[in-house]
Homo-oligomer: A and B are copies of this chain.
């Protein structure tokens, strides 16, 4: 609905549209005086170039897509901050899409990108995503993709992750050293790399600390809060209930604390708790929560930087590199 176009500027100044266009882009073909006149009028008439016209012609949109499972999670909202900060810096626009953990949505969203709506994609895959054809397809169509956090390991492109295995290991080791004998790991999805790597770290730690293999205890939770609560309650009611619990993602935290309340189990007296979370309120929970805190902002920022670094090039293919930014274990009362 913009009113003033290049054509109007041109007519007003008795110049051709070509000249005006070049002047606006500060082309060396145009004299300084002409540029000044054009700029002056453009400012006066509040001219802003129509992005659709220029995107069509230039075959680039100056827009990226961010595809996420959800936004109501401190990791993702902080990651968005990181992404947005570089995007704004580079003059790029950010389209946001939520899959709500649904593979079908993810597929539909990605499919749309074959049209050239975006110059690149940052994605953290859904919990249902177990294969990556849709992603390979969009890459094949010439659009670079950078994964962050939740990656598809079999897709050859850039990935920004944290040291999930290591953190799973550290968390479980910490609990073991605190004397826990029965440590339950709460997995969010059996197909997600983050979930599985954290779990493998947990398993390795148990093995290293003389746990029998039969003593690993994985609880598969989902996206339904109430259902998760029930699952956790059941686990805590078991005959040999866990004395340690590791939440693979933030959203389990509330359910764990509430379940312990319900069953009047004391944290950390009866059960020690660690969550993978970036919640600021971890400090002021009852009791303060031991967390594995991911470098969410940095991961978003890094993923975006890698993407932008490669947008200029015509070589569309991103290197199959994996950047690992370490998380840190913050030990607080809930585990000690």
Contact = CB atoms under 8 A, between A and B. Distances in A.
A71 B68 CA distance: 14
A78 B74 contact: no
Interface stretch (A18-26, A93-101, A212-220, A323-331): A93-101
Contacts of A112: 48
Nearest to A316: B1
B285 A1 contact: no
A285 to B, nearest CB: 5
Contact of A51 (B70, B72, B73, B115): B115
A2 interface: yes
Nearest to A115: B48
A263 interface: no
A61 interface: yes
A97 B83 CA distance: 11
A281 B281 contact: yes
Contact of A285 (B98, B117, B286): B286
Contacts of A78: 72
A251 to B, nearest CB: 8
A15 interface: no
Contacts of A48: 111-112, 114-115
A159 B81 CA distance: 26
Nearest to A297: B72
Contacts of A284: 253-254, 257-258, 261, 285-286
B52 A116 contact: yes
Contacts of A72: 74, 77-78, 81
A96 B84 contact: yes
A318 interface: no
Nearest to A78: B72
A88 B115 CA distance: 17
Contact of A116 (B51, B105, B141, B281): B51
Contacts of A197: none
Interface in A39-77: 46, 48-53, 55-56, 59, 61, 63, 70-74, 77
A80 interface: yes
A280 B282 CA distance: 12
A107 to B, nearest CB: 13
A283 B143 CA distance: 44
Contacts of A1: 59, 116, 141-143, 316
The 4 lowest CB-CB distance pairs between A and B, nearest first, are: A286-B286, A1-B142, A48-B115, A257-B284
Given A53-B56, A71-B81, 6 more contacts: A48-B114, A56-B56, A88-B97, A88-B98, A257-B283, A258-B284
